[in-house]
Chain A
Amino acid sequence: ETGVTQSPTHLIKTRGQQVTLRCSSQSGHNTVSWYQQALGQGPQFIFQYYREEENGRGNFPPRFSGLQFPNYSSELNVNALELDDSALYLCASSSGGRNTDTQYFGPGTRLTVL
């Protein structure tokens, strides 16, 4: 069973640029959630995709967008990068459909915005 993978591991961008982060969900999982973890904070929910549809969104502006593909992998896109977007971006997959389903996290992508 393959776990959750994310790419790239690290990324450096400049303010105003756009970035795409990728996530492959764990085998058998159809739900992907994205979180942003700033330094010294806990992860904050960005949004969730369930069977290719957005299934809920946290308090993030529209320049944070996402996609889920038929194989349940997912992308997180961030436009017009700001310095405060520097963080660890975590992807988590789960089976979906039940409140008790555990979310399993990938290793994260460290984004630095200069």
Chain B
Amino acid sequence: DQQVKQNSPSLSVQEGRISILNCDYTNSMFDYFLWYKKYPAEGPTFLISISSIKDKNEDGRFTVFLNKSAKHLSLHIVPSQPGDSAVYFCAARSGGSNYKLTFGKGTLLTVNP
């Protein structure tokens, strides 16, 4: 049972346009969400996070939106750059004693020059 789902395995956008990566979750106990970016042969790099008490968090070109009622979050990258090409993972965490992250399968973003 996959509790965090990224239904688009890949996404291709033009440089300068907006990239929108989507993530759905099923576990109502999740209260903190994160996005990581991963290049080949490297570990995931933290991008941005959002607490369940918020509906938006912005950091430079990256904005994460959370819709709790729909159990959906999205990452917007504006403007997209070729260096943004990577696999993006959505991760979620529930309150509790071990703070483990539950990851989606990832979305490969390709930004074309």
Contact = CB atoms under 8 A, between A and B. Distances in A.
A90 B93 CA distance: 17
Given A48-B98, A99-B93, A42 B103 contact: yes
Contacts of B104: 42
Contact of B4 (A42, A58, A99): A42
Given A42-B105, A42-B106, A33 B43 contact: no
Interface in B64-113: 89, 91, 93, 95-106
Contacts of A48: 98-100
A101 interface: yes
A108 B34 CA distance: 19
Interface of A: 4, 6, 31, 33, 35, 40-45, 48, 55-58, 90, 92, 94, 99-108
Given A45-B101, A107-B42, 6 more contacts: A31-B99, A33-B100, A35-B101, A35-B103, A44-B103, A45-B102
Given A99-B31, A104-B46, A58 B106 contact: no
Given A45-B102, A99-B31, A102-B49, A56 B44 contact: no
Contacts of A57: 98
A-B complex: 6 closest residue pairs judged by Cβ atoms: A56-B98, A42-B103, A105-B43, A45-B100, A105-B44, A107-B43
A101 B96 CA distance: 13
A42 to B, nearest CB: 3
A34 B82 CA distance: 31
Contacts of B42: 107-108
B62 interface: no
Contacts of B45: 105
